[in-house]
Amino acid sequence: MPTLDWIGKSAVVNHHREVPYHLLKCDREFSEGDPGSGNLLVQGDNLVALKALLPYYAGKVKCIYIDPPYNTGNEGWIYNDAVNSPEMRKWLTKVVGKEGEDLTRHDKWLCMMYPRLALLKEFLSDDGAIFVSIDDNEVHHLRAMMNEVFGARNFVATVIWQKVYSPKNSAGHLSEDHDFIMIHAKHADVWRPNLVSRT
């Protein structure tokens, strides 16, 4: 099977195992509703948060949907979409080491995504699936990485969804009107979609 390689890969492939477990602490000042409801809002680095939630939800989640940075290079948007924040640079230097200083934005994105996807796989139940929103910038890298993490045999589909309904006047070449949702199952032979009736 073909594999995807990038600068820093060897440092992050097992990084999700090295992230320490820690307890989640309830902040009463920000708490609302019934404490026994099971609802949680977790603030912090998502890699650390996932590792803290893993003991409670490993193998129990049927549906995961994530909307990671699309890595467009746009740093002036609502959030830094270039995977170039000071926190990410600090993490890359710590985990990847000296070569982390010379990574392209695609290397950085792959280094950021791989350990998170590896942890998310551990959350999925046997009949679970993960749905990942992405655009043209990283869809090809995401497919190869998810095939590696979840297994190519567990690829379900790439769903295309239309995000705009008229051409953009600002388009440099062609006006992109759709994004993608990449779907992989924990076990494609077990997973079945829960379809909504046509109306």
The full set of domains in the chain, from first to last, is: 9-185 (3.40.50)
Closest CA to 111 of 5, 183, 20: 5
Task: Please tell me the predicted confidence (pLDDT) of residue 39.
Answer: 80
Sequence-ordered strand ranges (E) for the chain: 61-66, 124-134, 155-162, 178-185
Q: What is the pLDDT along the chain (199 residues), one digit of tens a residue?
A: 778 998 889 999 999 999 999 888 888 888 888 877 878 888 888 899 999 999 999 999 999 999 988 776 665 555 555 566 777 778 888 888 877 777 777 888 899 899 999 999 999 999 999 999 998 888 999 999 999 999 999 999 999 988 777 776 776 766 677 899 999 999 999 999 988 899 8
Closest CA to 132 of 183, 176, 185: 183
- Bridge partners (DSSP) of residue 73 are none
Task: Please tell me the predicted confidence (pLDDT) of residue 74.
Answer: 62
Residues 110, 137: contact at Cβ < 8 Å? no
pLDDT tens digit sequence for 185-195:
999 999 999 88
Q: Is the pTM of this model over 0.95?
A: no
Residues 21 and 6: their CA atoms lie apart, in Å, by 27
Task: Please tell me the predicted confidence (pLDDT) of residue 131.
Answer: 98
The CA distances from residue 24 to 12, 51, 53, 54, 134, in Å, are 24, 10, 8, 11, 30
Task: Please tell me the predicted confidence (pLDDT) of residue 33.
Answer: 81
Task: Please tell me the predicted confidence (pLDDT) of residue 70.
Answer: 76
Residues 107 and 130: their CA atoms lie apart, in Å, by 22
Task: Please tell me the predicted confidence (pLDDT) of residue 12.
Answer: 92
